[in-house]
Structure 1
Amino acid sequence: MAERDIVVVGAGIIGVACALQLARQGRQVVVLDLQEPGMGASYGNAGHLATEQVFPIADLSILKRLPRMLLDPMGPLRLDWRYLPRALPWFLRLLMNLRPANYRRTVVGLRALNEGSLGAWQRLLHSIGRADLLREDGSLLVYERAQSRPALEALQQRMQQQQVPVAFWSGDAIRKAAPQLSDNLQGGLFFPGTGHFLDPYHVVRELVRAAEASGVQFLKRHVLEGRVGEHGVSLVTDQGPLSARQVLIACGAHSAKLTAALTGKTVPLDTERGYHLMLPRESHRLPFAVTSLERKFIMTPMTDGLRLAGTVEFAGLARPANMQRAWQLHRLSQGLFRENLSAQGATPWMGFRPSLPDSLPVIDRVCDDKVLLAFGHQHLGLTQAAVTAEWVGELANGGQALMPYRLDRF
């Protein structure tokens, strides 16, 4: 007999948002995680509500960049050569998903999630009385070299074809909105339907507070194994067994092992290791998030400073962080401002983005409704957390999973 109603495995932004949603639907919810809530990828993400990002994480140009990835340890996209044997099957799947039909399916899937993301976040933050944690003031993609303009204009056209709100800004318009940016900036694309969070970790903590007030129990436990039985799911944790009528797997980059144990399905889940550098003296520099087209990183103003983020490293879950990649972000920022950013008191960080080769998450209900799934959101976990929670709530109430996000697509 199941001793719990529903257990959520994973206390990141996805798991916590889902736990709150389920509790508000009358479910008795327990959340398990080896770490304190929000201390994984949710702690150090870029803080950008990236509703404009409706295209896959890679395109066919990755073939041209692959040799450079292997040789440049500080490049924006790096593949650790020691990880290549494990990463190669994932990259082959990624390339297969760039075929026209698969690519279109990904764009449709990302659009569906992203178009609902801002409204879902507005509802969620309003419901906990913390709408002030999100700034809905847009974001900006800038370029510096004149030869980059055709690529930017092509991107603008593709965005408009997907009904993404976007406007071209001249260099003068950029400096009017963000006076501290350099005169070297030629122009950029402004995305009015986006925004940024003032402190992503604080968002998780506020959701935890609301969840606990709704009866959610958070336990610090490491889930080692599990199996689906006639009456529910049995889990083995580092503090003993635990059983439940239903389980939601929402532990990000660590979701593959438990998914295989409970469903028998091997999921091609890998991790894009992301780095950030937090500059505590620079919170005043920008009014909104700014991304550099050529330098390929983002700068987001937050309560505690300016967060520089955006590099990608494929090296798996086990290898230690290379914090020089985080410090490289400060070097990349030089020349983007009238006066260079101060790195005094800066703190580096690395986290694991859970990525699937078709750039779509798994949001599904399987095993006779005993197992719910919500993982694989790649760079968009923060963006899509609130809308994912609403969809998981529908699945828990008997709704049907949508085709692009189903587990059986693999």
Structure 2
Amino acid sequence: MLENPQPEIDIAVVGAGIIGVACALQLARQGRRVVVIDQQEPGMGASFGNAGHLATEQVFPIADLSILMRLPAMLMDPMGPLRLDWKYLPRALPWFTRLLLNLRPTAYQRSVAGIRALNESSLSAWQRLLATLARPELLREDGSLLVFERAESRQAIEGLQARMTQQQVPVDYWSADAVRKAAPQLSERIQGGLFFPRTGHFLDPYRVVCELVEAAKACGVTFLKRQVQDGQLQAQGVTLITDLGRLAARQVLIACGAHSARLTQALTGKKVPLDTERGYHLMLPHEQERLPFAVTSLERKFIMTPMADGLRLAGTVEFAGLDRPPNMQRAWQLHRLSHGLLRHELSAEDATPWMGFRPSLPDSLPIIDRVCGGKVLLAFGHQHLGLTQAAVTAELIAQLLSPVYMPQPAGLPALERYRLDRF
């Protein structure tokens, strides 16, 4: 397989996270011979430790103009919710410059439209995908709640509700009494919140990847543990150079998240402005029954998601690149942030910290495209919405490759917004 000049592989998928595996399954179900390659076991990257929230309500880009005022704190506060490692600043500066340029009104609205189009299709796409696995129970479609504690935050909450309504995001304002009735474990300090009924959470994001892997294997997909070091376009397709030799395929799908830029440039010649939001979580194994659904704090800027194995505290964004070691104090800071948010403090006994890389582009939109004469497919850059948008991304990739006579799910977003050539 590793030295075949006439490819027997139809598509080599580089990346065994939630997006790569979901795409591989869809493509195999179209009758293609698919190989998935990753240097880790499937699902062990960002897909392992995400917040587990199906965040269809999050239709706004990762930053707004207030980031300019927050920049000093980002550089100085190592425990802040948004952190920029000052040693990484020279490398991050071009990316942040492009981020700021995308906050201009026209570009910002283009980003909102692109995120919203994917998010509006995400829940139904996940319902279809989980139905094919006969595992719909992995997703709890029970909504999510954004709470606030300070009276002066009410104006911000009402403003956010108005913006959400303008974008046709289903949202309800809940009084303090309504919050306590639905989630009695929350503190009396809660003044109210916004409830998003068309969201949900996954009981175990890693288990979802494992279920997709098993379904993909049943469809003939092969999983290889390799490190892809380079790639070359050939007359008959693509050759991938791995640490264990060469692998030839008619097409390649690059879906390796924050690690996608180098291979994309090698194959397409395009230098993609991809950076990483380093995200942290703290898993509390003795808190399975504390909350009925995912709860986010407006002021504290983190989320608590109930899962099968405990309560996951997640959030914070750190810009420090792919190479610097994790600062696990940021994960433990999430437990400190929870103090006072619930009636009784959360138990951190046997808690486990984690850090992973969210792939982010400066316009907050992913790249979903087919280039190089159809030999190279791209599906990366979903920032903190990778889990949310994985199923619809897989349908879009399948749509890019399917014959026109094959039926497609209705309502899929147009792909023009997500093209590589926008950079």
Same fold, TM-score > 0.5, yes or no: yes
Residue among 290, 297, 316 paired with 2:295 = 290
Name the residue aligned to 1:396: 401
Say whether 1:120 aligns with 2:128: no
Deviation at 1:2, TM superposition (A): 2.2
Tell me, yes or no, if the aligned pair for 1:288 and 1:300 is still in contact at 8 Å. Answer: yes
SS in 2 for 1:54: coil
Number of aligned residue pairs? 410
Name the residue aligned to 2:181: 176
Residue among 349, 360, 370 paired with 1:365 = 370
Equivalents in 1 of 2:31, 2:7: separation in Å? 17
Quick check: 397-406 or 226-235, which moved more?
397-406
Equivalents in 2 of 1:72, 1:381: separation in Å? 27
Residue among 244, 252, 263 paired with 2:249 = 244
Alignment gaps of 5+ in structure 1:
none
Equivalents in 1 of 2:364, 2:114: separation in Å? 9
Name the residue aligned to 1:233: 238
Alignment gaps of 5+ in structure 2:
1-5, 405-412
**CA offsets 1:222-273 (integer angstroms, 9 cap, x no match):** 0000011221001100110011000000000000000000000000000000
Q: What is the root-mean-square deviation in Å for CA atoms of aligned residues? A: 0.9
SS in 1 for 2:303: strand
Say whether 1:41 aligns with 2:54: no
Name the residue aligned to 2:409: none
Tell me, yes or no, if the aligned pair for 1:361 and 1:405 is still in contact at 8 Å. Answer: yes
Deviation at 1:401, TM superposition (A): 6.8
**CA offsets 1:359-378 (integer angstroms, 9 cap, x no match):** 00000000000000000000
Deviation at 1:403, TM superposition (A): 1.6
Say whether 1:310 aligns with 2:323: no
Name the residue aligned to 2:209: 204
Name the residue aligned to 2:408: none
Equivalents in 1 of 2:379, 2:243: separation in Å? 23
Amino acid at match of 2:182: A
Quick check: 373-382 or 223-232, which moved more?
223-232
Q: How does 1:131-210 map to 2 (within 5 A)?
A: 131-210=136-215
Say whether 1:352 aligns with 2:357: yes
Equivalents in 1 of 2:323, 2:301: separation in Å? 26
Name the residue aligned to 2:274: 269
SS in 2 for 1:373: strand
Name the residue aligned to 1:95: 100
Normalization by structure 2: what TM-score?
0.96
Deviation at 1:3, TM superposition (A): 3.3
Name the residue aligned to 2:410: none
Name the residue aligned to 1:72: 77
Equivalents in 2 of 1:119, 1:139: separation in Å? 17
SS in 2 for 1:368: helix
Name the residue aligned to 2:347: 342
Name the residue aligned to 1:15: 20
Normalization by structure 1: what TM-score?
0.99
Tell me, yes or no, if the aligned pair for 1:364 and 1:372 is still in contact at 8 Å. Answer: yes
Equivalents in 2 of 1:146, 1:228: separation in Å? 59
SS in 1 for 2:373: coil
SS in 2 for 1:311: strand
Say whether 1:385 aligns with 2:398: no
Equivalents in 2 of 1:211, 1:157: separation in Å? 42
Equivalents in 2 of 1:401, 1:382: separation in Å? 20
Equivalents in 1 of 2:415, 2:350: separation in Å? 46
Amino acid at match of 2:363: D
Equivalents in 2 of 1:75, 1:160: separation in Å? 30
Say whether 1:320 aligns with 2:312: no
Equivalents in 1 of 2:171, 2:399: separation in Å? 31
Amino acid at match of 2:156: A
Say whether 1:408 aligns with 2:413: no
Equivalents in 2 of 1:401, 1:124: separation in Å? 20
Amino acid at match of 1:318: D
Tell me, yes or no, if the aligned pair for 1:364 and 1:401 is still in contact at 8 Å. Answer: no
Equivalents in 2 of 1:285, 1:39: separation in Å? 27
Tell me, yes or no, if the aligned pair for 1:363 and 1:401 is still in contact at 8 Å. Answer: no
Equivalents in 2 of 1:288, 1:211: separation in Å? 30
